[in-house]
Structure 1
Amino acid sequence: MIHELKTMTKKRYFFLIIILGSLTALAPFSIDMYLPGFKAIAKYLHTSTDEVALSLSSFFIGISAGQLLYGPLLDRFGRKKPLYFGLCLYILTSIGCFFSSSLEMLIVMRFFQALGGCAASVAAMAMVRDLFPVEDNAKVFALLILVLGASPMLAPTAGSYITANFEWQVIFLILTIMAVLILLAVIFFLPESYEPDPSYSLKPLPIITHFITVLKDPQFFTYAISGAFVFAGLFAYVSSSPIVFIEVFKVSEKNFGWIFAGLSVGFIGSSQVNSQLVKHYKSEQIVNVTMFCMVIISAIFLIGSFNGWFGMAGTIAMIFGVLCCVGICSPNTSALSLAPFTKNAGSASALMGAFQMAIGSLASVGITLIKSQTTLPMAAVMAASSLIAFCVLFIGKRFIKHKVDANSDVVVMH
């Protein structure tokens, strides 16, 4: 399969990336698109927006748990059968969200919608490792971020227009249609990239053993954990940006949408700069420099926020700098995390996704714990996550004895 893909046309190459990118973007779209509808949902279900937010929490719980569920299934049954199951579950539960008549029903449906939707992201990550040569992985992950970046640019805006002109349920109807189209693309155009392994046991003890095997690899642990803390900077931004711009800087909701989209362009653009960087530098070198830069930028942002140095323009500049670091670093940490694995790529992909969601969720919670109507909570969480990422990288690299480089198939002995 890899040999075949090395000789494929550019059209086929990018078509596969679009499908994989759509799979990766399904869960973020499911989050971002319905956020503007919170007030309408609360009114319809006779509750408060704080209570409606429980449906977002249940989604995060579902997607975190689902990451670990699908890893073993992808390694046991191949990539496409678990993906079919997940997408079908997502479609059915999206219809359930559409017909939700109570808050409790919406919370439950959102949990199972997340369980279905996370099959798409886990399978997409594993299939990058399956379908493309190792030396292309960082570039492919950067291209996936290009597709993934459409979510924070398009989904909230689309959700606000839908909520303004239609009932909030239409949001879930559109998500259902999106999932059906993605399922058809997977069925007819996405190749099976991994032969089912009948010897792979789905009993709890062997599954745990597989996860432990992955976790014991120092390269995976180092880059998956440090990469997850880097990605937490993005979670911190998404969680606190409405407070920072709408409540602190008194920006209108419409202008907030433009600011949010503009900063997303920076995140996406930097991931594409990475596509050029990997042609000249190793992923390990890019990660080292980018994490150091992220620590410096976020530290300046924290000190400036504490002392009231930054207005709105300065705040945007600081956030832009952090997001650029995330956009460049994340594809490389993902590629380095998965590089050592062929047999357990599904489990490795699932663990990496679980780390990202769990640590990202902690970053979001951290925002709420710092009681300050300023930019300080965002800056503090960004600074803390980037510093932890750098420390994990610095310490973890000392334990990597057999490094598999993400830019080649060569194992480097240390």
Structure 2
Amino acid sequence: MTSSSVVRPPAAQEAVRPVFAEGIPGWFSLLLGFLTAVGPISTDIYLPAFPAMEQSFHTSAGNVQFTLAIWFVGLAIGQLSVGPLADRYGRRMPMLVGNLLYAAASAVCAFAPDVTTFSVARFVASVGASASLVVPTACVRDVVSDRAAGARMMSRLIMVMGVVPILAPMLGGLVVEFASWRLIFWASAVYGVVCVALVLWVLPETLPYQKRQALSPVTLVTRYVSLFWDRGYNTYAMITAFSTFMSFSYLTAAPFVFVQLFHFSPLHFSMLFGVMSVFMIGASQVNGLLVGRVDTGRLLHGAVAMSVLGTLLMVGVSIWSVWYAPAAYRQYEVWLVIGTMVLALAPTGIIFPNAMMMALADHPSQAGAASALAGTLQYVLGALAGVVVGQFAATSSLPMAGCMCFGALMMLCMHMFRPAVREIA
């Protein structure tokens, strides 16, 4: 990298001072987790409302599911732009603009008269929310250079992120049970405003002027191309992306599978979703205890293998229930599906923090762009999962199980083709 590609500050600002001279305070992880949760809460909170929205808009289930795919597309596009902007202008400004955009667009979603207006507003909201997915991860890389410490901090971040998604679908289910689904999006708008206030008055700037990168179309394209062709980066980034494909196959299909097929009430579905999140959070905390003590490759290998096993068992249960199970035994299908889902999804709490930190490990000066490209890959595949699952009628759990199994098998392929393990130690 030439010296001209770095933004040079005035001489008085040349000395690079650590953001936290006396160590990273505990509230910093909480703050980043709360800000990052904009994405998960906006994905999860309206899942119990899918059937109600289908009736309100007088449209098909596929069109309602498609709004989730639109959300993922907006997150993917937004992250590609936000990452380089965060490397050029610092971390706070993109967060401010993004959360303002998210809050305004969520308010439009709340009074949208039809599914088309809702979809457009949802896309705009996702572009704004993309800042909250890119910037906090880059902030971790800014303040923590040690890989083991970074992985542990990412695990704590995932734990904090997980608290809101546990509550979100439960709250969404309560809203649908007793009020209009539109209240969900008014609450999302308020959440965006709170995030703006936190960025303005609490979040410190973690990227000093001396480390900011120049921004030009050529530099931008070159940066993304170099990242994508770095085998050490792209294999780990694709592991996180196919983990997202697996998770979003579940997110897209689960409301219809459990509400329409298994006859869960919106509230009961929300409680199930919370249970799944508890297992994922628990796995992330186990990861925080093990990282630095257990070989990173072994951690990833074990977690990926468990996800593959869980999805294969889910496919087997679905096939058995559709074609072979006696009618008297089909009442047990829901419990078998839930059990295999736990086995498949819980390991993502181990897969994501390790794979993400390994992807970013060798790119400290491009943490924003590297985080953005990884996030874009995740949400492109998440959008693809939503589109694929939406093509199937919710007459069995097999489409959900099949898509989740594909994601898990592709994670395994990426894991096998990764370069020699770079230790987190």
TM-score class normalised by the smaller sequence: 0.7 to 0.9
Distance in 1 (CA, whole Å) between partners of 2:313 and 2:46 is 34
Which secondary structure state, in structure 2, belongs to the residue aligned with residue 149 of structure 1? helix
AA aligned to 1:353 is G
1:340 corresponds, among 362, 386, 394, to 362
Instruction: Note closer, same or farther for the CA distance 1:147–1:221 as it changes in structure 2 (3 Å cut).
Output: same
What is aligned with 1:87?
99
Which secondary structure state, in structure 1, belongs to the residue aligned with residue 365 of structure 2? coil
TM-score between the two structures when normalised by the length of structure 1: 0.87
Gaps of 5+ in 1: 409-414
Q: Deviations over 1:58-113 (max 9, x none)?
A: 32221111010101101111111111111122222223333434544332222111
Matched, 1:376 2:398: yes
Which secondary structure state, in structure 1, belongs to the residue aligned with residue 112 of structure 2? coil
Is the deviation greater in 386-395 or in 96-105? 96-105
Deviation at 1:8, TM superposition (A): 2.4
Matched, 1:213 2:226: yes
Q: Deviations over 1:180-221 (max 9, x none)?
A: 222222222221111246974433222111111211221111
Deviation at 1:47, TM superposition (A): 5.3
1:8 corresponds, among 3, 23, 35, to 23
Instruction: Note closer, same or farther for the CA distance 1:364–1:38 as it changes in structure 2 (3 Å cut).
Output: closer
Deviation at 1:280, TM superposition (A): 1.5
Deviation at 1:6, TM superposition (A): 7.6
Gaps of 5+ in 2: 1-15, 326-331
What is aligned with 1:155?
168
What is aligned with 1:274?
287
CA contact (8 A) 1:224 1:352 kept: yes
Deviation at 1:161, TM superposition (A): 2.4
AA aligned to 2:30 is I
Distance in 1 (CA, whole Å) between partners of 2:362 and 2:17 is 16
Instruction: Note closer, same or farther for the CA distance 1:233–1:272 as it changes in structure 2 (3 Å cut).
Output: same
Matched, 1:351 2:381: no
Deviation at 1:328, TM superposition (A): 1.5
Identity %: 31
TM-score between the two structures when normalised by the length of structure 2: 0.85
What is aligned with 1:412?
none
Distance in 2 (CA, whole Å) between partners of 1:378 and 1:40 is 21
Distance in 2 (CA, whole Å) between partners of 1:20 and 1:49 is 34
CA contact (8 A) 2:174 2:267 kept: no
Deviation at 1:154, TM superposition (A): 1.5
Instruction: Note closer, same or farther for the CA distance 1:278–1:3 as it changes in structure 2 (3 Å cut).
Output: farther
Distance in 1 (CA, whole Å) between partners of 2:175 and 2:198 is 26
What is aligned with 2:13?
none
AA aligned to 2:375 is G
Distance in 2 (CA, whole Å) between partners of 1:44 and 1:374 is 25
What is aligned with 2:31?
19
Deviation at 1:157, TM superposition (A): 2.0
What is aligned with 2:413?
391
CA contact (8 A) 1:233 1:326 kept: no
Distance in 2 (CA, whole Å) between partners of 1:224 and 1:394 is 14
Q: Kindly report which structure 2 residues correspond to 1:192-341, keeping only aligned pairs within 5 A, or say none.
A: 192-196=205-209, 200-308=213-321, 311-341=333-363
Distance in 1 (CA, whole Å) between partners of 2:115 and 2:335 is 39
CA contact (8 A) 1:97 1:109 kept: yes
Instruction: Note closer, same or farther for the CA distance 1:270–1:159 as it changes in structure 2 (3 Å cut).
Output: same
Which secondary structure state, in structure 1, belongs to the residue aligned with residue 406 of structure 2? helix
What is aligned with 1:115?
127
Instruction: Note closer, same or farther for the CA distance 1:56–1:231 as it changes in structure 2 (3 Å cut).
Output: closer
Which of structures 1 and 2 has the larger relative contact order (alpha carbons within 8 angstroms, sep 6+)?
A: 2
1:132 corresponds, among 144, 156, 179, to 144
What is aligned with 2:6?
none
AA aligned to 2:149 is D
Deviation at 1:372, TM superposition (A): 6.9
